[in-house]
Structure 1
């Protein structure tokens, strides 16, 4: 081993846990979960941590270590474990999840903008060219996509500085939530805004849409799984970990416990200053603005708990909403400029060049420029169809969030399904092994697949059972459209390769 390798500082348990935590833990998941389920969201986070986060993160770690020298990312993992068609389908679905994320965020981006400017969400009253509500947000979303694509294709990377500023600001929001809730708890002499009336508070939701509906409750698991998103990044950390065989599994178990508890305490803290019936059941509250309403209410509750006047408490509410709005806008903007090209570039560079027709796979200024404009066109069409097909702001955001959650969790099923094939291939060197027997591999793969698969099924059918066919249709439409596109692209590539091979053999025999 070289002296430079020896001198390289390796990750120990606590730094590794912190890296996993910061990659996965997301502020928005807390208020949105409270909005949907109240305290009853907590057991689902615990269950999803045990049946999804921990086993899947360990699978990712085994894949990442075995294929640490491959440049194709998850495509290489699945291609060498199962086969190229399966790998392309899974990788394309992974990429498609980011396209649907763009559809969601480009339209929802204006809620933090409204909070930053006005101190509250006024998007429902916005009008432009005779259009109102979701249609206005859709048009603004399309304009945003075109602006970001144009800027990104120029190869400008200065905008990435926004990411670090926004990320720091969002970390401060989490700290403010915890400290603010504790202060309100002390100021109100231990009285909770959302009372805990025994075990039933953690099993029965205050949301009337979920009361007595087991399908709706099981559908919430998708939100919990989505809240653990980002664990794909841990695969590359094994090589940087000291004594990985012992340290890495401990870090995953510990970080899984900390993240589950962190989400659970966060939801509890929201209940310290937020009464579900009086704050979250108001007509204008939806999944798009729930986070800002919760944090605005924290500002108001801080003032009230310590004897401030109504005007002063309202001023605090608007001040907090402005800060949260600005922070989230900066964070989402930074993410947008990165995700506009990064997943697409990884998909193109990780897969065979012949898969991409014409000049689609061409790289200019380090960017897949032509593919980015095609991507922008697809995103804009989807935004237009969703914005002009919904009936209300609440249903509009329900559709967007459901689409995103389903699309971003489906690729996990492809990766998990490839894991048993990966383990059976003795020719693949496996320097890091957690699942030591085929029995353990089969059991944990089945648990992960059932958790993600059933959660998605319930998430898709639950709106339809309540008469909301539009949300169900769009939740299914995204994966089906992109899955079909991947199948057609690969079939075209396969036929081209066969015809070229046939042509070459004919020329040799001539």
Structure 2
């Protein structure tokens, strides 16, 4: 319901910092360099121009217009485009967190291993004769059970854990830039040669076809995820009509520059062929590439200081340990929050009659029964994916693709509903960026095309290369969750129609 907000306080600088903190993710940099090398820089800039900026301005208009509504994106879409469309879009947004939990439940053991051993040893782990993928699956199931149990108790130290991990991860960015520039100055050359060809062609043989290159766009778009938080900042910004567009533009430039600089710096100390095919004994996948890359950075830093080989390898292990501990703390805090927060928002933000009464019951201010159902669904998906008989590389590739696609599809719903939002004259719009039908159509078109295009290529690219399993898993989640949402809403409509009219 309507509620009062505090008076505007955010300056341009604080606004940019808040957006940067919400959107910028360090692990996107080593993943991008691993997949595309220097060529990733171009696609990150394209993603900023075709997705980040136009979508952020839509979120800003939504946030200003619906600042007194609870329900978040459901309220935005319900008023703009209708409750059924809004519910399916909101449920898809929630579903993306389900896929995120499936991914992180398994992936979190990589930073745990890095923190303990200085390297990713998860591919050597075995339990009762099971392979590493199945062992990680069992650990992910155990993790989900433990985290759900802890979160149902409504413990207050979760935020503290998240903030400690967040500060530690933020320091990694400083280490990357300072250490990378030091290695560059000490060696007087880039480890990965820079050329016009390197800026447009990936050194990764899996990303040389036109289709696979286009599919990388979804990684770039995903790197700008988290924009939804900016919607609530409009009315808290000083002189919003001027400051907010400037803030969004400056944040987009800062974040895309940060990504581009980070990718470039990785090339200063990372020879792609050495780091990802020869360095150490670890097999590279999208789950562990960041830790292997930082291990290599510590190793190269040692060489730049001219220390003995054994010392250089030890420096690499300790940097990998630091990153592992930082990411483990940050992901643990995020998991403990996200295991109940999106679910609580979904239940409280959408019409109450949609949900069975047992699911909406709160205990310790969290929907305990709904969390148990959620845990069951996550565990079933983990078991399905991890016991599918694939190697670790394929396993994590599937999980990352599932996460990227699932978390970007809700953007399509929000952008499409924006057309209805602009047409609806009854909605008071105190903050307007898109002032003409043409600019609205262009902005919506750019977002729909870039996100839709990237997702389609991400889905079909594995199938073209014969990997139908990856395509199947990537598309199965969004289809399944949209059908569940449609079924829930039509069950709710049927119940309403059967109620006696007063």
The aligned counterpart of 1:404 is: 403
Q: Offset of 1:272 from its aligned partner?
A: 0.5
**TM-score, with length taken from structure 2:** 0.97
The aligned counterpart of 2:229 is: 233
1:210 equivalent in alignment to 2:207: yes
Q: Deviations over 1:93-150 (max 9, x none)?
A: 0000000000000000100010000110000010001111110000000000000001
Please say which of residues 399-408 and 128-137 is displaced more in the overlay: 128-137
Aligned-partner SS, 1:396: helix
Q: Deviations over 1:339-368 (max 9, x none)?
A: 000000000000111100241111111001
The aligned counterpart of 1:284 is: 283
Residues 5 and 467 of structure 1: is their aligned pair in 2 closer, same or farther, counting only changes over 3 Å? closer
The aligned counterpart of 1:421 is: 420
Whether the 8 Å CA contact 2:158–2:337 is kept in 1: the answer is no
Q: Deviations over 1:148-190 (max 9, x none)?
A: 001111111223311000000000011100001011011112x
Aligned-partner SS, 1:430: coil
The aligned counterpart of 2:368 is: 369
Question: Aligned match of 2:191 in 190, 193, 197?
Answer: 193
1:254 equivalent in alignment to 2:250: yes
2: CA distance between counterparts of 1:456 and 1:477? 13
2: CA distance between counterparts of 1:456 and 1:281? 28
1:222 equivalent in alignment to 2:218: yes
Q: Offset of 1:278 from its aligned partner?
A: 1.2
The aligned counterpart of 1:339 is: 338
1: CA distance between counterparts of 2:158 and 2:131? 31
Q: Offset of 1:200 from its aligned partner?
A: 1.1
Aligned-partner SS, 2:378: helix
1:132 equivalent in alignment to 2:131: yes
Aligned-partner SS, 1:360: helix
Q: Offset of 1:416 from its aligned partner?
A: 0.1
Q: Offset of 1:206 from its aligned partner?
A: 0.3
1: CA distance between counterparts of 2:158 and 2:60? 32
2: CA distance between counterparts of 1:496 and 1:130? 51
The aligned counterpart of 2:152 is: 153
Q: Deviations over 1:377-399 (max 9, x none)?
A: 00000000000114100000000
Counterpart mapping for 1:464-475 below 5 A? 464-475=463-474
The aligned counterpart of 2:310 is: 311
2: CA distance between counterparts of 1:17 and 1:156? 31
1: CA distance between counterparts of 2:8 and 2:361? 38
Kindly tell me the number of residue pairs found equivalent between the two proteins.
496
1: CA distance between counterparts of 2:436 and 2:489? 34
The aligned counterpart of 1:394 is: 393
Name stretches of at least 5 consecutive residues in structure 2 with no aligned partner: none
Aligned-partner SS, 1:64: helix
Aligned-partner SS, 1:142: helix
Q: Offset of 1:504 from its aligned partner?
A: 2.9
Q: Deviations over 1:63-111 (max 9, x none)?
A: 0110000001000000000101000000000000000000000000100
1: CA distance between counterparts of 2:396 and 2:276? 15
1: CA distance between counterparts of 2:168 and 2:317? 17
2: CA distance between counterparts of 1:53 and 1:281? 33
Whether the 8 Å CA contact 2:50–2:446 is kept in 1: the answer is yes
1:460 equivalent in alignment to 2:456: no
The aligned counterpart of 2:116 is: 117
The aligned counterpart of 1:438 is: 437
The aligned counterpart of 1:269 is: 265
Q: Deviations over 1:30-85 (max 9, x none)?
A: 00000100001000000000000000000000001100000010000000001010
Q: Offset of 1:16 from its aligned partner?
A: 1.0
Q: Offset of 1:497 from its aligned partner?
A: 0.3
The aligned counterpart of 2:446 is: 447
Counterpart mapping for 1:3-152 below 5 A? 10-152=9-151
Aligned-partner SS, 2:207: coil
2: CA distance between counterparts of 1:424 and 1:159? 42
1: CA distance between counterparts of 2:180 and 2:303? 13
2: CA distance between counterparts of 1:164 and 1:158? 10
2: CA distance between counterparts of 1:449 and 1:170? 32
Whether the 8 Å CA contact 2:8–2:235 is kept in 1: the answer is no
Q: Offset of 1:281 from its aligned partner?
A: 3.2
Aligned-partner SS, 2:427: coil
Whether the 8 Å CA contact 2:108–2:331 is kept in 1: the answer is yes
2: CA distance between counterparts of 1:417 and 1:140? 39
Name stretches of at least 5 consecutive residues in structure 1 with no aligned partner: 506-510
**TM-score, with length taken from structure 1:** 0.96
Aligned-partner SS, 1:359: helix
1: CA distance between counterparts of 2:470 and 2:178? 37
